[in-house]
Structures are given as C-alpha cells and as structure tokens.
Amino acid sequence: MNPETDRPPRDEIRILLGMLRALLNDLKTIQQLGAGYYDSGSFISRYNKLLEVARDLLPDSRLIQTFSPLETSPSVDPVEKMKATQKVLIEGGQLISLIQSVLGKEDSPSRD
C-alpha cells in the first residue's frame, strides 16, 4: 500500500482546503503591493485547477456545480486586475466554505 497514492479522499479534501487558503493568502499579499506589480492570470489559473480537483473529490455535492471556472484575461489595467483578483477571492472563499461544511458534516455524529 502506497501512502501517496492510496490516501483517502478525506485527506485530499483537507489538503485541497489548505491549498485554497494558501492561494487566497498569497493573493492578498500580492494585492497589497499594488495592482501594477502582479499578474492575476496565474491566480486564476491556479484557482481553476483547484476547482477541478474539488469537483473530482466532491462528485455528490450539488453545490459544487454552482462554481464555474474563471476566465483569464491578460490585462495591464490595474482596475481589471483588481476585478479579476476579487473574483478569485470571492469564489475561493465560497469554495473554502463549501469544503469546510463537507468536512464538518463528515465529522459530526450521524443521527440515525
């Protein structure tokens, strides 16, 4: 049994949660430097990849279907960059909330 490949989905969901949190923290840090100093495309690309993994790990969730990949649009305009990063922050925060709810539901005792 290989611990890297045979890891239960629950562990992968927890790892995904940590990666989403790190992405949003990195984005907030970069935003503080000012809109002219970063490319929002890399954050959107990473969010989209993590969303794809979330869909694979949460196939039974109807709510995961409310999330759509974000469009990347290379822009040098600070306002457009801010709009793009705000989308990542909002969607990422909502995805984190969904994952936390799924994990919390699994942790709570069943009431059969």
Domain membership flag for residue 111: no
Domain membership flag for residue 92: yes
pTM over 0.85: no
Output Rg (C-alpha) for the chain, integer angstroms: 16
pLDDT in tens, 19-33: 999 999 999 988 887
pLDDT of 34 strictly over 80 = no
pLDDT of the residue at 1? 39
The residue-averaged pLDDT of 96-104 equals: 95
Domain membership flag for residue 3: no
Q: What residues make up the domain containing 47?
A: 9-103
**Which candidate, 1, 25, 32, places its Cα nearest to that of 89?**
25
pLDDT of 75 strictly over 60 = yes
Domain membership flag for residue 4: no
Task: Enumerate residues 6+ apart whose C-beta is below 8 A from 37.
Answer: 30
Domain membership flag for residue 1: no
Q: Give how many domains the chain has, as a whole number.
A: 1
Task: Enumerate residues 6+ apart whose C-beta is below 8 A from 77.
Answer: none
Domain membership flag for residue 46: yes
